[in-house]
Amino acid sequence: MRLRELDPDPIAQFRAWLREAEHATARPEAMVLATATAAGQPSARVVLLRGLDERGFVFFTNRESRKGEELAENPRAALVFHWPELGRQVRVEGDVQLLPEDESEAYWRSRPRGSRLAAWASPQSRPLARSELDRLYTEAAQRFGAGDVLLPPFWGGYRVVPLAVEFWLHRENRLHDRIRYRRAAEGWLRERLAP
Ligand SMILES: Cc1cc2nc3c(=O)[nH]c(=O)nc-3n(C[C@H](O)[C@H](O)[C@H](O)COP(=O)(O)O)c2cc1C
């Protein structure tokens, strides 16, 4: 992988790799999201990439979850995509913004009714018995009846605005390729890193 063959824009380069991953792997949009408390205690979990444009990488979740609380006190995150079938990894680091409500609403509308009810029912990241979760789901279903399942005030999207993006490609003898993009005053700086 030569630096000059990569797109100067990391989002365009990411899109190209994501498109290839779509043909190679079952869940190409699955990414590890790492967050941390204000004190620096890290935590990580898988979420799905649900939006991508020049502004950044979008995912959706319960804003009162553990990740939501960590992002409220420390709005920075790292993402990792791993596509083993292609021998590729992408790392993203950046600042995190709340997605505007109209964008969360648009995605919410695309979710199946059952998923929307589950978002209302689940106090994500809180201890709870299975029977309690089932009861909360039934309660949500009854509350909305046949009507529209509205966007919960505690649920929505986040955008990870990238400051650095690294493309990693498996090569023989562990002489892997690593190209890192870093946001500069104008455009992006690129450099090769030792594997
Ligand atoms: C393949 C996969 C996709 C997932 N996608 C999401 C997602 O898009 N949003 C989300 O809130 N949780 C998603 N989860 C669940 C999270 O990994 C996690 O359990 C949950 O968000 C609670 O995390 P937290 O307690 O750190 O906030 C996904 C899990 C897996 C395995």
Q: What is the pLDDT of residues 46-62, one digit of tens each?
A: 999 999 999 999 999 99
pLDDT tens-digit map of 58-115:
999 999 999 999 999 999 999 999 999 999 999 999 999 999 999 999 999 999 999 9
Q: Give the C-alpha separation, 21 to 186, whole Å.
A: 30
Which residue lies with its CA nearest to atom 18 of ligand 1? 45
Please give the structure tokens belonging to residue 176. 């892997």
pLDDT value of residue 36:
98
DSSP-based three-state secondary structure for 139:
helix
Cβ-contact 178, 167 below 8 angstroms: yes
Tell whether ligand 1 has an atom less than 6 A from the beta carbon of residue 111. Answer: no
- Report residue 25's pLDDT band, with 50, 70 and 90 as the boundaries: very high
pLDDT score for 139 = 97
Is residue 62 within 8 A of residue 119, CB to CB? The reply is: yes
pTM, full prediction: 0.97
| Cβ atoms of 192 and 179 closer than 8 Å | yes
Q: Which two tokens stand for residue 61?
A: 């979740």
In this prediction, residue 133 has a pLDDT band, given cuts at 50, 70 and 90, of very high
Element (DSSP H or E) covering residue 104: helix 101-110
- Is the CB of residue 44 below 6 angstroms from any atom belonging to ligand 1? no
